[in-house]
A and B are shown apart, each in its own frame.
Chain A
């Protein structure tokens, strides 16, 4: 049964391993996945602990629906205190790892301490072993996975691993499984590296009993019809996430040359159709691959056609890599995007963060804030493809002064570089933004400012706000499962109603991350895709647990508040540019220079922004400082936290 999957506590300092069932009462309050991880983090991380120290607990989990008869339950969640931000660390990846871990008997791992030498954790049908990984240290993410399979003699083993970036404690190193599935954000790979933990390998053949299998399958059939019948999924299944590149760029929604422009010129070479043309075995309906239990298959595959990385096979590139190795550094060659994507996958580093860091350094170089002295002779101007890829190597291996400094993350790097370098860093809470430019979209600006893990599009982004949906459709989505009769606007440039949308999506995505499903199977991507009304049925048929949509909403609220409590405990204050819900001054002061008439010349209005934050806080049940009120704590049953139930 899904609910009999256990939690394991693994202490790498002592070698002690303990397993426990997860009480139903805890499930009912936090479900699983990210929500339950937030509970574990709040309960197990000592206040003010060093993110790269042995006390920082690392959680790895699947959602409550993982490996059941529900579709797309592929996501693995990883949480710890972030070495990048000093606040909440949280990242999520697709692939096949979490389902395999569930078949091996576990939904949640809590890993503490630090091994004396490199190790990996081997989990097999209820048994857990800590094994020597000295021979794996220094290997790439894929080499590590194949080597573990070879050592243990089982081709079906799935591993979550770090590459050299994690070993070198690059503060935005990621955790990877498969070729391109990356728990990318907030430096969870560095936390693994700090524990001398190279990998967690899992293999399981333990049945998961489904509570109501006939209903579960029948319901999933409807779900699949809905998913495969949606136009957005058809498009995504043919072109992958790059499908939005062209329209977003021509509209003017991309960061180009760090933050100087909001549109990239001469970008045709990195259109998905062009990537398909130049790379063998790439994008297109017959080349796409997918995660566990997915019917969308949004993942392209490719071989690099020429240049220094010719013949290298990889998966992607995602839209995020088009930004990281295209728009932000203003590099216009498809090959550079493919090569950059390959390097980050092999080193195990967050493509969003590294692309933003290098673009920021390029702007500093062009402004004379850093010179060839700091770059060890590298001509770090925008548009220099070779310099871009060279910087990826240097950061991941901490080579040279600048490589080492940039590996520390944006805020520490700005302190080392000095002058006014911080003013040019497009970050929130110490984490860089995706390559999107939110100056024309106040709702999206509010999302990145208030997202719990720093500037991020996957925590509360009202992505469908950009669609121009009929107002009645918007009203239907946003008035359920709890009533809402306040303002709503299908104009993406408006400020009114956006705080509710951001609040609604914050709860929606938390619920999704507790279930362990892919966001592309939810209202994140399309108005017709499932949300709160659908999920209680899926949970009931698969696990037997009964919730109403409102109860599910409340669980999401509870988990979001726990993340907030953690951030507040670790120093978040509302207007702090480094640790608060605040945007870089450029959003308010520098008008956009390119794009369609609806975005050109736009800034975020500071007064209206502050009003949106006030309203958002009020929807969340927080006071003007962004602290949950005692009524909110009471209502969500959080006033006894930390309660140490697990």
Chain B
């Protein structure tokens, strides 16, 4: 089943300029894994070296934040995953 991942503009040079990538999987974690298999550089911006999701990355599934336990959240065909980057503060 196909799920769309919407890529943050800051990361699009890592996906060959693509704004969205179609991926497969049963969970958000599967989908990100599929994305990284195709675009390995995305792994470095999404995950910390120990394998945890980066503290600045928040994953939205359709219109809802998936936090906490983001990677375990189930997905279905037609869903959209948004990689958001929390750059606010100061």
How close is B1's CB to chain A, nearest CB, in angstroms? 20
Quick check: A248 and B87 within 8 Å, CB to CB? yes
Q: A231-B58, A247-B56 are in contact. Are A469 and B82 (CB under 8 A)?
A: yes
Given A232-B86, A244-B90, A528-B65, A468-B8 contact (CB < 8 Å): yes
Query: A243 touching B89 by the CB < 8 A rule?
Result: yes
In the bound assembly, the distance between CA atoms of A468 and B84 in angstroms comes to 5
* Residues of chain B whose beta carbon lies under 8 Å from any beta carbon of chain A: 6, 8-13, 55-56, 58, 60, 62-63, 65, 67-68, 80, 82-90
Q: Are the C-beta atoms of B88 and A244 separated by less than 8 Å?
A: yes
Residues of B within 8 A of A231 (CB): 55, 58, 65, 67-68, 86
A492 (CB) vs chain B CBs: closest residue: B9
10 contacts between A and B (CB under 8 A): A229-B67, A229-B68, A231-B65, A243-B55, A247-B56, A436-B90, A467-B85, A469-B84, A470-B80, A527-B65
In the complex, what distance in Å separates the CA atom of A464 from the CA atom of B88? Answer: 6
A476 partner residues in chain B, CB cutoff 8 A? 63
Chain A residues near B10 (CB, 8 Å)?
Answer: 251, 596, 598-599
Does A391 belong to the interface (CB within 8 Å)?
Answer: no
Cβ < 8 Å to B, chain A residues 228-253? 229-232, 234-236, 238-239, 241, 243-244, 247-248, 251, 253
Which residues does chain B contribute within 8 Å of A434, judged by CB atoms? 90
> Within A587-610, which residues are at the interface with B (CB < 8 Å)?
596-599
By the criterion CB–CB under 8 Å, are B87 and A466 in contact?
A: yes
11 extra A-B contacts, CB within 8 A, seeds A230-B67, A234-B55, A436-B90 = A229-B67, A235-B55, A457-B90, A467-B84, A467-B86, A468-B9, A469-B82, A525-B86, A526-B88, A598-B10, A598-B12
Nearest chain B residue, comparing its CB with the CB of A435: B90
Q: How long is the Cα–Cα vector from A149 to B60 in the complex, in angstroms? A: 49
**What 0/1 readout, one digit per residue, does chain A (193-211) give for beta carbons within 8 Å of chain B?**
0000000000000000000
Judged by a CB distance under 8 angstroms, whether A491 is at the interface is: yes
Residue of B at shortest CB range from A468?
B8
A-chain residues with CB within 8 Å of residue B88 when the two chains form the complex: 232, 244, 463-464, 466-467, 524-526
- CA of A238 to CA of B54, assembled, Å: 13
Residues of B within 8 A of A313 (CB): none
In the bound complex, how far is the Cα of B90 from the Cα of A524, in angstroms? 11
Of residues B83, B84, B86, B89, which shows the largest number of chain A Cβ atoms within 10 Å of its Cβ? B89
**Chain B residue at minimal CB-CB distance from A476:** B63
Interchain CB contact under 8 A, A241 and B90: yes
Specify which chain A residues have a CB less than 8 angstroms from the CB of B9 in the assembled complex: 468, 491-493, 598
A residues within 8 A CB of B83?
468
The reply on A473 being an interface residue by CB < 8 A is yes
CB distance from A527 to the nearest CB of B (A): 8
User: Is A16 interfacial (CB 8 A cutoff)?
Assistant: no
> B63 touching A239 by the CB < 8 A rule?
no
Please name all residues of chain B whose beta carbon is closer than 8 Å to the beta carbon of A436 when the two chains form the complex: 90
Q: Write the nearest CB–CB distance from B35 to chain A, whole angstroms.
A: 15
Chain B CB within 8 A of A309 CB: no
CB of A320 within 8 A of chain B? Answer: yes
In the complex, which of the residues B13, B60, B68, B90 contacts A473, with contact meaning CB atoms closer than 8 Å? B60
Q: Report the minimum CB–CB distance from A341 to chain B (whole Å).
A: 14
How many Å lie between the Cα of A597 and that of B9 in the bound state? 9
Query: In the complex, A252 Cα to B65 Cα: how many Å?
Result: 26
CB contacts (< 8 Å) of A253 on chain B: these are: 87
Contact call A244/B63, Cβ cutoff below 8 A: no
Closest 8 CB pairs of A and B: A463-B88, A466-B87, A231-B67, A235-B55, A468-B8, A467-B84, A597-B13, A598-B9
Determine if B63 and A473 form an interchain contact, defined as CB atoms under 8 angstroms apart: yes
**Known contacts A231-B68, A472-B63; is A244 also within 8 Å of B13 by CB?**
no
The residues of A that contact B65 with a CB separation of less than 8 Å are: 230-231, 527-528
**Contact partners of A238 in chain B: CB under 8 A:** 55
